Every structure is written in structure tokens, then in C-alpha cells.
Structure 1
Amino acid sequence: MDDFLAARSQMALSLGFHIVFSCIGMVMPFFMAVSHYKWLRTDNELYKNLTKAWSKGVAIFFATGAVSGTMLSFELGLLWPKFMEHAGPIFGMPFSLEGTAFFIEAIALGFFLYGWNKLNKWFHWFTGMVVGVSGLASGILVVAANAWMNSPAGFDFVDGKYLNIDPIQAMFNKAWFSQALHMCLAAFTATGFAVAGVHALMILRNKNKAFHFKAFKIAAVFACIGALLQPLSGDISAKDVAKRQPAKLAAMEALYKTEKPAPLLIGGIVNEQEKTVTAAIKIPGALSFLAHGDFDAEVKGLDQIPENEHPPVAITHYAFQVMVGIGTLLMIISLIYFFNLARKGSILNKRWLLKLFVLAIPLGYIALEAGWTVTEVGRQPWIIYGIMRTADAVTPMPGIAYSFYIFSAIYLSLSGVVAFLLYRQIKMVPYVYDKTAEPDINHK
């Protein structure tokens, strides 16, 4: 493995793990706050125990997110020094503000974890909300920095120099809103389905059903709302990418030739050597409509883009198909769940629906990783789109492959520890008899 590939692989590995840890850390505090609010309003001890159980999960992912995020900040400087030399002064503001949000989150989490029976009950609940809001703000600020890489703004690039720097304009670049919206909804959807699925599994196993049923309902509502809103944010993102990064859109759809109107491909096998796609289902004019709001609009293909600026088409296309396919499946599950709620049916009597949520446990995160792959791989060969190539930003330091192997071992170990802690936490859930539970819940 050469050093350039090793550096890219290490960043991909680090981001792949961190994005899961950070998304759970962003979303779980809101589940916790809803449960806490229900306890304050109903005085149901079950909600108090649920809040405490989820707060321990929040603490676990706060710690792992902090560790993996710190490692990422060092990697940016060590692996991509040329990038940080020029980009640091421009997009440093969102990173600085993210540090402030993280600082607030840490303080609020400390108040929440150790404030039981010591703080005013509503102030205690408020500190939990602060954990969620500051965590969400951290995620949005980091995504704003990534959006700047896709849509550079806030400077003039003249004769290889970065002049007239405006950090505010850089932070609020043209891509930040669409990326932040899509990312936040993805975080709520993925985490919601994962949490709901775990509690659905416990219900199916007849483990403390009253407790897990209430937990399931909170997580499932967040997950299903997020899944139903996700296509709307995806449409906003697609139109934005079509305008700013036509090469990425062409790679997402494996569109080698400019077409008017352009079909939307479902599936397909990409042959990058022959620049063809086979075995795909084509929906005439659909890509033109998604990209430009017009079924007859022209969509720019890779034939109008210099070949040395083509992203890896196969990886981008397959990742996009995985993201859209899973998103559609989760949207269908959400519609079924809300249809069941509208009919006032008990999900406890529908084991098949609970099993669907169990099967969906990993799907949201697979879609999340696939979407991040589309964002990052689809931008190649640029680290700053249209300004700096990734190959020009990598460190000249040799031996990066060994660093990649070491970091791989660290992240795998960290994931193993997190999985063990979560498993133990689920096993230690306290039993509380709930008189308000539905009559078909079996209290053993």
C-alpha cells in the first residue's frame, strides 16, 4: 500500500467510525430528554429508569466521540499538512465554534449525570436538553467545514495564493444548509431505528416488556419522522449537487454521456473501462426532474468533464444506490408504523412489525456510511473542490501504511469496548412494574 492510499484509507476508517459515534451522541440526548420530560409530567418511575439508562449510553458515546474526534483533528494535520496550511485560516471558525459547543456539552452532561436529587427537577431536565442542542450544533458545525470542501467560499484564489479571507462566508457556504439538513435527518433516522430495533428485540424476547415498549415508542417516532423527511432533504441536496458539482452527480448516476432528458438509474453494473452501465432499470426523465425540476432538462455527463477530474464512478454509484435503497426501505417501514398508529393498533400484537425494526438496526448506519462515501469519494480528485487536489495535500512523510494499521487496531478495539459496555448496560436495565402499561404486556 503506497502512502497516498494509506493516508486516504486512514481518514476513511477514522471518519467511518467517528460518524457513527458522533451521530449517536447527537441524537440520544433528545430521546433521553423526552423520557425525562414524561417522568416529570407523569411521575412514572419507569420513565425515570429509562432516562437514567439512556443517559449512561449518552455518556459512553460522548467519551468515544471525544476520543475519535480528537484523533481526527490530529490526523488532519499529520496526513494533510498542505491542506491545513491553506484551509485552516479559512474554515477554522466552524471548528473553533464546534470546540465551544463541545465544551458546553461536556459541562451540561456533567450537571445532568450528577444532578439527580441535587438540582431543581426542571433545571436538571434543561441541562439534558442543553446536551442535545450543543451536540447537534457540534455536528452541524463540523458538517459546515466539510461543506466548505465541497463548495469553497470566503476567499479569492489568485496566483496560487488565498487572499481576502472571510471566515463567515466560508462557514455559511452554499453547501452547508443542504448537507447539514441531510446529515441531521440521517442521524435521527439511523439512531432512531437502531435504538427502536434493540428495544423491539427485547420485547420479542419478553424481557421487561413494559420498559422496552415505552423506550421503543420514543425512538420509533423520531426514526420514522426522520425517514419520511429524508427524501425531501435528499431532493434539496441533489439539486444543489447538480448545480455545483456536476461531476459528482454524474458519478452518482453513472451518467457517462450528457442526456436530455436524462433517465434515473436504479441498480446497474458499472464498467469504468468501457464507460457503460448494464442491468439497470431506467426511469425516463426522472434524473432531469430531480436535478433541475424539469423532466426535459439536460443533465451534464462525464463526457463534458476532463477525464483527470472524474470521481471513481463505480464506488460513488454503488454507494448512492445503497443509500437510496435503504432510505426507501426505512421510509416504507415508517409508513407502515404510522398507519398502524393511526388505526390505534398495538404493535405488541404485530411481531412481524417488531421484527422489521429489528432487521433495521444496522440499516440506517449502513445508509449513513454510504451517503458519506458519496460525499467524499464523489468529490475526488479534489480535497478542496476545484482548488486543491487530494494528491497535492498529502504528507511527504513515509511509513503512513504502518500508521493506518495501528489506527485500524485502535478503532476496532474501541468499537469492541463500546459494544461490550452497551451490552452490559442493556442487561442491567432495572425492572419496574408499570400499571399504565397496555393490558397485553406480559409482566413476569
Structure 2
Amino acid sequence: MEDIVMTRAAFGTTMAFHIIFATLGVGLPLMILLAEILFWRTKDRDYETMAKRWTKAQAILLGVAIPSGTIAGVQLSLLWPGFMEVVGKVISLPFQIEIFAFFLEALFMSIYVYAAHRLSPAMRFLSVFMVLIGATASAILITNVHAFEGTPTGFRITNGEIVDVNPWAAFFNPSFFVTAGHVTVSAYMTGAFAIAGVAAWKMLRVEKGGRVYTYHQKALLAGLIVGGTFSLLTALNGHESAQLLHRYQPEKLAAAEGLFETQAYAPLAIGGFTDPQTKEVKYAVEIPWALSFLAANRFDEVVVGLDDFPQELWPPLYIHTLFNGMVGIGSLLIVVGFLGFAWKKLLRRSQFPRWVLWVFVASGPLALLGIEFGWIFACTGRQPWVIYRVMKTADAATHAAGVSPFFWIFLAIYLFLGIVTLLVFRSYFGRHPLELEPGTHPTDQPAE
């Protein structure tokens, strides 16, 4: 059991590190494309500057995402041989297509970074758009393997042998479209709020109303509008995800909400923690009938409780906390996005007070934390299965000894990579400070 825990910890640590760079690597190209479009429409060179500087950040992040993603691929083969046997015969298609998606992203990223000043506006749009398509496709394809783990289709296991393999049925498993939508909109949301958080931090450190302040305020508003829009879409997609769990993984939904007894008009438990002894969620705020509506858009829907399953097949009950953290952060980010929009467009205030800027600063780290909560919830909530109701985690993991040192070695590698990444960011942008042309566009003038 200890080896299985350490095997999960080793791969989980890898994914927790990699997902930060992978998510930002999907979200930032959308913001770069938006900056290019705004520059083309307004001729405001601040947006051109944003696109150039954000591209440099994207290149640094991609430089870390590649080795961390390679480590994840190697660990899949080393730590999960039982799972990879199924992958090789049934669900290898997304991995194969993802190689071409990555090539597409890398090719046009290179073109844009090294030749943007020589390209026409149309070719610049095309280059960034293809980077966005490649990055998004990579995320969808890799996440589709996770979707398959939750709703496996396209094969059968008979007498221990994998038979009747249909790769396209496995590819377009019941979770494909919902999961693809969720990873896409949540990544776009996170990239936008990362931009907003950095811009707000810069605004706290420069003179109010000055040229640099105005530049960062433009970046902040772009991040808040895009982030707020996609946080709302993430919430809508999350509603579809809950309905998917209700249909295909009912014990996961029950554990997420701490529901032990099967019932109609099931309440939604917000906050608190699940107590397995008393079989209740202590200190939670319950919204009557809301879980039934969340599961099937009707208040009288019968939601299956944990007591309908053997206790050894229950997911860890702490996923209720992870689920609440994910949903809570997502809901807060919707409010943050609306706050920024309302402050400028509805209240027509020219500047943000410091306390509001600090809220915006927090939005970036919170978005990343929400991604981490969501990923851990999605994987841990499937336990004890690695492929739901087909293969248990214990059967998929390696039986080789010595996994513990493996975990500590890679933990040290990720700490090193994280520190180096921060130093590279600080070094590059320290040696290349923001240089702005004198304000010529009406929006460049300091607000009175």
C-alpha cells in the first residue's frame, strides 16, 4: 500500500507542477491574439507592446512545460504499466494526435517570436491563432485520456484480454465534449486572470495616472473582461460536468457533496467537512433541493448516496473540500471580473483604489489554485479506480520497489525548475524594462 501511495504521489506531484505551465500555455495565446486584434483595430501601440512582452513570457513557460510534460510521459510508462497496457491498445489515439498539435504550436510560436516584425498583420494573426489552436488541441487531447478513465468505452476485457477495440469510440467517450470544454474555458480564464493579476501588481508600484499606469490599466481591463467571461462559461460547463457525474460516476458526486443517503430533493452542502462516523457534512450551509437540480435540472431528481456502494469503493471524502474550493474560487472570480467591468464601465471611475487592485492581484494565484483543486478533485474522486469500474489503481501501478526515492528526487527537480523559472522571468524582464512611446492615442492620456 505504501508503494502505491508513493507512486500516486510521484505522478501527482509531476502533474501538479506541469499543469501550471500547461494551463498558462493555453491561456496566454488567447490574450496575445486579443492584444494583436486590439492593436489592429485601435492602432494603439500599447497593445502591440503587450503582445510582444506576453509572447516572451509564453516562450519561457513553454520552455518549462516541455520537460515537465516529458517527465509525465516517462512516469506513465514507469509507474503505471498496467494502465499503459490499456492505453497502448485502446486510447493511444489522443497521444498520437497530440504530437502533431504540439508541432503546430511550436512551429508557429517560433515564427511569431522571431519574425513577427517582418510579417503582415494578417500573418501575425494567423501565427498567433495557430499557436492558440495547437495549445488548446494539446490540452484537449491529453485531458481526453483522463475523460476516458472516467467513462471508458470502446473495448471489453474478456478473460483478462482486451478485445473488441474501437479507438474512435474510446476517443469520443461520453465525457469527451464536456471535459474538452471545461479544460478549454478554464485555461482561458486562468491565463486572463494571470495577466490581470500581474497588471494590478504593477499598478500598485507606479504613479497613479501616469503613462505606465495607463498601459497596465489597459492590460488589467483586458484580463478582467476575458477572465470574467470565461469564468462564467466555466461555471456553466461545471453544471454540465455535475450532470455527467450524476449519470456515470454517482459515487463521485455523492462524495463531492457528502451525500450518504439516496434521496430526491437532495440538498447542496456548501463548506464544512465530511465526517464518515456520523455520515454528515459538519458546519456546512445546506441549500434545499439544489443538488437534485444541479444533477438533472429538476428538484425531484433522485441522487444516489454513498450508502448504496461498498465503503471500500468510496472516493476519499476530503474531495468535498476540494470540490468546494474549486467552485468557491470560480464563483469569486466571476465577481472579480464583474467588479472590474462595473467599476470602469458602469461607475465610470478613472482609477481603481488600492484595495480593489489587491483583489485583482489575488485573482491570478486564485485562478491557478482553482485549477489545482479541480485537477486533484477529478483524479482523486475516481479512486479506487484508475479506469472506472474496469481497473483499480492498485492493479495499474508498478510493483517495483524503491518508488519513495523516485518521488523525492523529482520533487527536488520541480523545486529547482520552479526557482529557475522565477529567476529567468526576473532576469529577462529586468534587463528588458517596459518602454512606451509617447501617448498619441486618446486612451493614452492620463485620466483626470
Q: Deviations over 1:329-381 (max 9, x none)?
A: 11111222232344262452444332211122211111111111111010000
Separation in 2 of the partners of 1:222 and 1:69?
27
Residue 312 of structure 1 contacts residue 377 of structure 1 at CA under 8 Å; is this kept in 2?
A: yes
Query: 253-262 or 394-403: which moved more?
Result: 253-262
Task: Summarize the alignment of residues 18-417 of structure 1 with structure 2, pairs less than 5 Å apart.
Answer: 18-206=18-206, 208-314=212-318, 316-343=319-346, 345-346=348-349, 348-417=351-420
**Secondary structure at the residue paired with 1:157?**
strand
Separation in 1 of the partners of 2:349 and 2:425?
28
Q: Which amino acid aligns with 1:64?
A: V
Q: Which residue of 2 aligns with 1:440?
A: 446
Q: Deviations over 1:267-323 (max 9, x none)?
A: 122222443321111111111111122212211001001222111012x11100111
Separation in 2 of the partners of 1:181 and 1:410?
32
When residues 44 and 392 of structure 1 are mapped into structure 2, their CA distance, relative to the original with a 3 A threshold, is same
Separation in 2 of the partners of 1:379 and 1:219?
34
1:426 deviates by: 4.3
Query: 152-161 or 248-257: which moved more?
Result: 152-161
When residues 311 and 347 of structure 1 are mapped into structure 2, their CA distance, relative to the original with a 3 A threshold, is farther
When residues 370 and 117 of structure 1 are mapped into structure 2, their CA distance, relative to the original with a 3 A threshold, is closer
When residues 223 and 51 of structure 1 are mapped into structure 2, their CA distance, relative to the original with a 3 A threshold, is same
**Secondary structure at the residue paired with 2:315?**
coil
Separation in 2 of the partners of 1:39 and 1:325?
35
Residue 101 of structure 1 contacts residue 138 of structure 1 at CA under 8 Å; is this kept in 2?
A: yes
Q: Please list every run of 5 or more consecutive structure 2 residues that lacks an aligned counterpart in the other structure.
A: none
Q: Which residue of 1 aligns with 2:426?
A: 423
Residue 273 of structure 2 contacts residue 320 of structure 2 at CA under 8 Å; is this kept in 1?
A: no
Residue 347 of structure 1 contacts residue 354 of structure 1 at CA under 8 Å; is this kept in 2?
A: no
Q: Please list every run of 5 or more consecutive structure 1 residues that lacks an aligned counterpart in the other structure.
A: none
**Secondary structure at the residue paired with 2:284?**
strand
Residue 189 of structure 1 contacts residue 227 of structure 1 at CA under 8 Å; is this kept in 2?
A: yes
Aligned length: 441
Residue 46 of structure 1 contacts residue 434 of structure 1 at CA under 8 Å; is this kept in 2?
A: no
Separation in 2 of the partners of 1:347 and 1:273?
55
1:225 deviates by: 0.5
Separation in 2 of the partners of 1:36 and 1:425?
22
Separation in 2 of the partners of 1:91 and 1:441?
56
**Secondary structure at the residue paired with 2:152?**
coil
Q: What's the % identity of the aligned pairs? A: 35
Q: Which amino acid aligns with 1:158?
A: T
Separation in 2 of the partners of 1:44 and 1:336?
25
1:203 deviates by: 1.2
Q: Which amino acid aligns with 1:440?
A: P
Separation in 2 of the partners of 1:221 and 1:424?
30
Residue 10 of structure 1 contacts residue 407 of structure 1 at CA under 8 Å; is this kept in 2?
A: yes
**Secondary structure at the residue paired with 2:117?**
coil
1:230 deviates by: 1.8
Residue 7 of structure 1 contacts residue 394 of structure 1 at CA under 8 Å; is this kept in 2?
A: yes
Separation in 2 of the partners of 1:44 and 1:234?
37
**Secondary structure at the residue paired with 1:115?**
helix
Question: TM-score, normalised to structure 2's length?
Answer: 0.94
Residue 251 of structure 2 contacts residue 315 of structure 2 at CA under 8 Å; is this kept in 1?
A: yes
Separation in 1 of the partners of 2:347 and 2:445?
14
Separation in 2 of the partners of 1:340 and 1:33?
25
Residue 112 of structure 1 contacts residue 125 of structure 1 at CA under 8 Å; is this kept in 2?
A: no
When residues 296 and 116 of structure 1 are mapped into structure 2, their CA distance, relative to the original with a 3 A threshold, is closer
Residue 268 of structure 2 contacts residue 286 of structure 2 at CA under 8 Å; is this kept in 1?
A: yes
1:188 deviates by: 1.7
Q: Deviations over 1:200-231 (max 9, x none)?
A: 11112116213212222222221110112222
**Secondary structure at the residue paired with 2:271?**
strand
Question: TM-score, normalised to structure 1's length?
Answer: 0.95
